Structure 1
Amino acid sequence: MNDITQLQSQLDQLTSELRLAQTRIQNLERRSKWKSSGFVGLAFVLACGVCTWSVNAFSSSKTSMVASLDTPPTKIKAPFEVDDDQGRVIMRVRDGDARIDRGIYFYNEGGRAVVDVTSIQEGGGGGKIRVTAAGPEKTAELDQATGITITGVRESEGITINRGAKKSLVLGAELGAKGEEPGGSIKIYDGSEKLGATLSAKTKGAVLKLFGGTDKPVASLQTETTGASLTIFGTGSKPAATLTNDTAGGSLKIYGSTDRPVATMQSDGDGGNLWISDKAGQQVAGVIASDNGGVVKVMKSGDQKTYTAINAVDAGLGMAIRKAGVRLVFVGASGENGEKGSVFVYGGGENPIAGLTSYGGGKGLVAIFNQALSPIAMLAESDKHPGGGNITASDPSGNGIFSAGYTGEAGDACVTRKNGLWCMGTNLPLQMK
């Protein structure tokens, strides 16, 4: 019985004795005249008794409380376990042996350890806390020797840092693509708990994504085995621009309303290239560094062999026009050193059928060619009489058969016939010279 219970019992007993004494005093009052003094005396004696008992009782209580503070705590020797009302283990305390670390182990209803707090000997000794989600392949550990280790396949199996009641950062794991291993991830949230950025690892690379207040990224930086890529997104998660590099060099692509680029800038072994595409993704214009120079090429959509190209390269200087791959016109520099300006017209092959060029110190020449590339007709300035003109015609082998031109005073014409050369001069009929 504790002190309070004992005090209550003694008070009840004294009350009963006081009532009994009062009854006796009333009986005595009928027999004597010392009623008042006797009653007062008895009451005084009883009151003194109660006071003395109360002081002793509370003194005993204080002594008992002080003594309880000095009492050693209850000790339970490990190993032991705590079970539920069905006999299933809730907690075990192990002293440790060669198979299991010393510590406390908590179990789920299936009898599997899901949380343990242990002391370890490796690494100089220390403590470890481990939380297991679904087996040893999905755990979170805080180890004095090795630090924090997270093993799992979902972000919920990682570490979450909150700002108030809202998520601020999640450090966990990401599911890998089909056939790939999962990797680690970091997710950062803004003040309204919207995703702001993610960093995740994948096979032989990593991906950094930035978000703009929605669940769709506005930019992505991704590393690969041989290079990296930066993507800026437009509406609907479609790329607006990409910047990539690989073993061949770098590439910048600009996109329109589709997932096909409308402009591409890239590098190769000769230098840089710029390509412009239509809305269907077909290349229609390009600026290309090549052969120690540049090429500007304008093409028909859907037909890469129909184009106009302007070249300023070692191979030549000029403009070429092709249709369906067939050469039509060339305008540019000709001659051994590119010292002459020329225009050539083609008739379905790679050899010209007509040409306009300069020669001999700035003189002009117009020529018609046969399929063997032999000139068969020419219009040029006279070599003998500068300022005058000549017309010449040849046979298929290039032998002259007709010539007419300025003679210095008038015109003259000659024709080669089977029986000789016949010429026609001023006031003279056609005659043989």
Structure 2
Amino acid sequence: MRIMRAEQFGLKREVEYGTPEQNESALRIVAEVKAEGDAALLRYTEQHDKVKLDASLLRVTQEEIEAAYDRVDALFLTALREAAVNIRRFHEKQLRNSWTDLQPDGTMLGQIMRPLKRVGVYVPGGKAAYPSSVLMNVIPAQVAGVPEIVMVTPPATGGKEGIDPYILVAAAEAGVKELYRVGGAQAIAALAYGTETIAPVDKICGPGNIYVALAKRAVFGAVDIDSIAGPSEIVVLADEAANPAYIAADLLSQAEHDEMASSILVTPSESLAQAVAEEVERQLSTLPREDIARSSIDHYGAILLVDSIRAGIDVVNQLAPEHLEVLIEEPMRVLGLIENAGAIFLGPYSSEPVGDYFAGPNHIIPTNGTARFSSPVNVDDFMKKSSLIYYSKEALMKNGENIMTLARHEGLEGHARAIQVRLDHENDTR
């Protein structure tokens, strides 16, 4: 693993928006599904997933979901259920209520919070299946009160046997009632615009490959989306007291996701840097996904040397990582200095997978430096807000001239007259 001074490292990664060919392909698929509905959906499923279906087979049956329980082990089911409890408990604390504020003059202002009506959840099925992502997408939507949650996933996440049974069981445990065997850009288009079989949604959430990301970007505006997620990232800020084996294992936990994942150690300790580099190499040799992790480490991994932990925090804030681990002697001491990070893990026992699977906070977190301005998936993502205005006669008579002054300054006489007609009427009837 390469060791360098932080100032030698390009602190901003290029955001991946796909090649021109990939963009063209995603846009074509979206347009054809929008125009042709199920016919295009089935055509692209056969072409890209090598699975031939007819429209009657798109929806996963309750019998298939129940049968999946016989194919998962009991330990997994127990762990999944405990994780679901933690995730639900955490997100329930995020709920916000509608509110009103009644003024002495009779004016009432407020905000009405309502859940979205229908949300689509995309669950990928490429290099690995992620039942945990089912929980992280569905449970916040449920807590928000979304009445209709529909899930889509490629038809062969479990190989020739169809959808991975662990994904089906996770969907059932999360409470999904509507599930379709379709993936890729065609699934995103179906969720956005609807087909004869799949009704359109208000918002699409969940990660996927580059074609899924490009399709989400293409349909944004017709529907809302959570984000366009990039490759996974982890930054570890550590001092000389940190355990090199812990750091190496945590760096590799992200490197094994994808060849483009980014794993970075920031430290003022040269001895720790060298020890971690050696430990990464040792652990890599026995990692089942060694080829993926090695490519990630070689191309996007680095150990950055800084003059102090304070200088390291400056680097962290520039990187704005998806995941940040703080492995220093007193991590709480620097927490207030960390401005940009999607999820912050403090201390040697808060390994990144604790958050990925079990603790409760959402693991769908902003990437590519977007933690500068965005947040992990949360309950607010599945709610909409309406402003409430009840203006009393007293308030309008008092503030009408101010309102008309502002309207006329902007050249909008019609706005001003909408106020003037009321003022004139009230003055005439006195």
TM-score category (smaller protein): under 0.3
* TM-score with structure 1 setting the length: 0.15
CA radius of gyration, larger in: 1
Higher strand share: 1
Q: Which has the higher helix share?
A: 2
Return the TM-score normalized by structure 2: 0.15
Q: Higher relative contact order at CA 8 Å, sep ≥6: structure 1 or structure 2?
A: 2
